[in-house]
Amino acid sequence: MTISNDTAGPGCSPAPNPLPVDAARALIRRAIVPVATVERVALRAALERVLAEDIVSPIDVPAHDNAAMDGYAFDGTALSAAAATGTGTAQLTLAVAGEARAGHPFARACGAGECVRIMTGAPMPADCDTVVPQEFVVRSGSNVTFEPLRIERGANCRRAGEDLARGQAALVAGRILGPADLGLLASLGVAEVAVRRRVRVAFFSTGDELRSVGEPLAAGCVYDSNRYTLYAMLTRMNVEVLDLGVVRDEPDAIEAALRTAAASADVVLTSGGVSVGDADFTARMTATFGDVEFWQLAMRPGRPLAFGRLWPAGRGVGCESALFFGLPGNPVAVMVSFYQFVREALVAISGAIAPTPLQFAAASRVPIKKRPGRTEFLRAVAMRDTAGQWSVTPTRSQSSGVLSSMSEANCLIALAHDQGDVAAGALVDILPFEGLA
Ligand code: AMP
Ligand code: MG
């Protein structure tokens, strides 16, 4: 099977100078203004939020030296003294002076020839730096005996501040807070953190043929699926979403929806109506209150894209405005354009330090036809064989209207702008869906 990603239909002839994907990304990056408002939230509400302050550890974590195992704590200098006596098989015997449990320290220092029965997490008694695990010792009465060569000085002792030292930077501003970060903040005793306010995104679909779920499907109509994929992708990014529904292909309705969206959100997303036949129509709507360009991208799927800024109440510094992405209408093109452009923009607007996108190489199981001069994304299924090698097969349909192929796929194959045909077995870059927020 040779997969061709060329699904151009009538009216889809390439524009004379389509914009390369990297150039579009650079133009989008230049237009980003991160949200500035900061709010304080309780720790649990901070999950997936963008940290707005550096967190410096106010304490040592752990706060005290403590045992990493159940056993007996003692002064490790006893080990070298025992080794100096010689044979290597000599036994070391210590008297058990008492007990330390987590939350219940041993009250006094531990003297020469003594040890303290200690449980994991218990503070190390003064003058002790080593824990011999209980499996290594023979206990008889109030003495323990073990081979000193089986243990090194300092073993099984977790040092105060070894996780985080007081005054050390624990987390930096811009971090998207994950489960480990919430735990880390709790370990510092931090109950509230400053985070950036969430990015607000308003979106709507355009098209006279669209019907919403729950409505009867009249002849020639299709259900609006883009609002659901957009809702889902946005919700996973933890942005605030405002769904403005379906807007008919009528200039006034589209203008009103765009103005409402721009006045209430940081980012406006639309789908449909930006292909060649409709572009002028949408352009007219944004011309009076937006700086919007209509791009033909050197990309498949997702060739048409409108991008710019909308000024619903007039242009100028201090005036409210919203970034605008006019996504294509085809359901797969919507998702691919979102993942390639909108996602990165939303991360940047949120004020986050962008996480490195997941990407790795896999061997294509089939030859792929690819014309240099545009970036192509193929829906594909990647799998790992029993030897641990990754290979990838494009889904049978690469039409940008076939959403089921997106459901079937678990990754996109990304074929770079200058790349040509791919031979079977050659390595290609894949962008896994798993792990993509
Ligand atoms: P357009 O870019 O408006 O010409 O739309 C391109 C194709 O995508 C057409 O077949 C539309 O019917 C389809 N389409 C547009 N918007 C949606 C939507 N929200 N849900 C499903 N299909 C859509
Ligand atoms: Mg349309």
Per residue of the chain (437 residues), what is the pLDDT tens digit? 455 444 433 334 455 689 999 999 999 999 999 999 999 999 999 999 999 999 999 999 999 999 999 999 999 999 987 777 655 568 999 999 999 999 999 999 999 999 999 999 999 999 999 999 999 999 999 999 999 999 999 999 999 999 999 999 999 999 999 999 999 999 999 999 999 999 999 999 999 999 999 999 999 999 999 999 999 999 999 999 999 999 999 999 999 999 999 999 999 999 998 877 766 677 678 888 999 998 999 999 999 999 999 999 888 777 899 999 999 999 999 999 999 999 999 999 999 999 888 899 999 999 999 999 999 999 999 999 999 999 999 999 999 999 999 999 999 999 999 999 999 999 999 999 986 54
What is the Cα–Cα distance from 219 to 237, expressed in whole angstroms? 36
Q: In CATH, which of 3.40.50.300, 3.10.180.10, 2.40.340.10, 1.10.260.40 is domain 360-432?
A: 2.40.340.10
Atom of ligand 1 nearest to the CA of 224: 20
What is the Cα–Cα distance from 394 to 197, expressed in whole angstroms? 39
Q: How far is ligand 1, taken at its centre, from the CA of residue 335, in Å?
A: 12
Say if CB 380 and CB 392 are below 8 A apart.
yes
Regarding the beta carbon of 302 and ligand 1, being less than 6 Å apart is answered no
What is the Cα–Cα distance from 131 to 120, expressed in whole angstroms? 10
Considering every ligand atom shown, identify the ligand nearest to the alpha carbon of residue 225 and give its number.
Answer: 1
Regarding the beta carbon of 156 and ligand 1, being less than 6 Å apart is answered no
What is the Cα–Cα distance from 265 to 322, expressed in whole angstroms? 6
Q: How far is ligand 2, taken at its centre, from the CA of residue 303, in Å?
A: 15
Say if CB 24 and CB 341 are below 8 A apart.
yes
Residue nearest to atom 5 of ligand 1 (CA): 329
Q: How far is ligand 2, taken at its centre, from the CA of residue 205, in Å?
A: 9
- Domain locations in the chain? 3-37+198-349, 39-61+163-196, 66-158, 360-432
Fold of 39-61+163-196: Molybdopterin biosynthesis moea protein, domain 2 (3.90.105)
Q: How far is ligand 2, taken at its centre, from the CA of residue 212, in Å?
A: 15
Fold of 3-37+198-349: Molybdenum Cofactor Biosythetic Enzyme; Chain A (3.40.980)
Atom of ligand 1 nearest to the CA of 227: 19
Looking at the domain covering 66-158, what would its CATH class be? Answer: mainly beta
Atom of ligand 1 nearest to the CA of 328: 2
Q: Do domains 66-158 and 360-432 have the same CATH topology?
A: no
Neighbours of ion ligand 2 (CB under 5 A): 207, 272-273, 329
